[in-house]
Amino acid sequence: MIINTGARTDTVRWYTPWLLKRFEEGYVLARNPLFPGSVTRYELTPEAVDVVEFCSKDYRPILPHLHEITDRFNTHFQYTITAYGRDIEPRVPGIDASVDTLYELEEIVGARRICWRYDPVLLTRDYTVERHLETFAHLCGRLAGHVDRCIFSFVEMYRKLEFNMPELIPLTEKDMDRLAEGLGRIANGHGIRIQTCGTNGDWSRYGIHPSGCMTLGMLGEANGLEFRKLKHRGTRHGCHCIESRDIGAYDSCVCGCRYCYANKSPEEALENYRTAHDPDSPLLLGHLRADDRVVQGSQKTFLTRECAARQGQPTLL
């Protein structure tokens, strides 16, 4: 099975001590967001986890300690670096700092394990098609050879974006076509494989691959693993990723990105970070309650039988 550390929140940036302690103690608890009284336990051991997936906008806090995980587990890293400034991403480092951190990450894990995310792509009066293409070209020039591929998606018009980003300009088919043509041309010109995620449009005519951002093919190539041929169910419409188990929590990311789908509001996330998080708790937010029902999560390996044996996974959990 795949453990995802960053789909609901940026644990790497804001909760590094908690994350490291979970792997040190060898288990984690995750509360069901739809049924809060239901809690799932996952074992965080090399025998129970095929790959640990990271997704962050700032890897600086964990870099000095990352070997504690990479020395024991197969890993894969998604690094989001966009064109946006603090007006859109209030607590995210700028481009120069982000690129420098990516170089440091590469020295530890290698370019093959790093996917650069340029998403979501959205338009405002300040962030135009032209500005996106100019910034993307600059980033491609600095990241070529340092990442395995680039993944982008067009912003999904969640209802709350109407309130959080009233300046958002809805993307037209023409806008998306111009962006896709430009992104594909620039990425391919720098020798960077580019693909979509969470977007159903076919942009293959521009050299863009229609794949998910976390597939068994990607994870296998990054770690030299052999996976069984399994259907990738995804997590939402247009998603073609392999299923994973997220150990984070909604309403806990403090980056404050105005397009975020995982927070009801930046204020609530910040309050949870300040008052509801205990680095010693097996839950990211809060503690177990007397009436909680804890169940053991299913952790069946996706590896082939032969590869599982080599990885020390002779049984399925």
Average pLDDT over residues 71-99: 97
> When comparing pLDDT for 163 and 147, which is higher?
147
**Token duo for residue 232:** 């990738």
Number of structural domains, the chain? 1
Supply the pLDDT for residue 237: 58
> What is the pLDDT at residue 164?
84
Query: Are the beta carbons of 99 and 141 closer than 8 angstroms?
Result: no
pLDDT beyond 80 at 212: no
pLDDT band at 241 (very low <50, low <70, confident <90, very high): confident
Mean pLDDT within 146-166: 89
Cα separation, 142 vs 136, whole angstroms: 10
How far apart are alpha carbons 281 and 279 in whole angstroms?
6
In this prediction, residue 197 carries a pLDDT of 84
Q: How many residues does the chain have?
A: 317
Give the model's pLDDT for residue 210: 81
> What pLDDT is stored for residue 317 in this prediction?
43
List C-alpha distances in Å: 187 to 83, 111, 122, 179, 180: 15, 16, 18, 12, 10
Q: What is the DSSP letter of 63?
A: G
Q: 235 or 284, which is more confident?
A: 284
Residue 300: the pLDDT is 92
Average pLDDT over residues 284-291: 97
pTM of the model: 0.94
Domain membership of residue 315 (yes or no) is no
Which of these, 16, 172, 2, lies nearest to 74 by C-alpha position? Answer: 2
Q: Does 312 or 287 have the greater pLDDT score?
A: 287
**N- to C-terminal Cα separation, the chain:** 10
Q: Which of 18-32, 161-175, 199-213, 246-260 has the lowest mean pLDDT?
A: 199-213
Cα separation, 26 vs 42, in Å, equals 9
In a domain, 166, yes or no: yes
Output phi, psi for 39, to 5 deg: -125, 135
Tell me, yes or no, whether 9 lies in a domain.
Answer: yes
Q: pLDDT class for 302, splitting at 50, 70, 90?
A: very high
Contact 149, 156 (CB under 8 A): no
Inter-residue long-range contacts of 139-145, CB under 8 Å, 24+ positions, other chains counted: 139/81, 139/95, 139/99, 140/186, 140/187, 140/189, 140/190, 140/192, 141/190, 142/99, 143/81, 143/99, 143/102, 143/116, 143/192, 144/190, 144/191, 144/192, 145/111, 145/191
Full residue range of the structural domain in which residue 162 is found? 2-310
Q: What is the mean pLDDT of residues 254-258?
A: 96
Residue 238 confidence (pLDDT): 59
Q: Within a domain: residue 128?
A: yes
> Is 36 inside a domain boundary?
yes
Residue 316 lies in a domain: no
pLDDT at 315: 47
Range from 253-257, 258-262, 291-295 carrying the lowest mean pLDDT: 258-262
Query: By the 8 A CB rule, do 215 and 241 touch?
Result: yes
Q: What is the pLDDT of residue 234?
A: 60
> Which H or E run includes 28?
strand 27-31
Residue at 317 is within a domain: no
d(CA 111, CA 48): 25
pLDDT the model gives residue 175 = 97
Average pLDDT over residues 202-212: 90
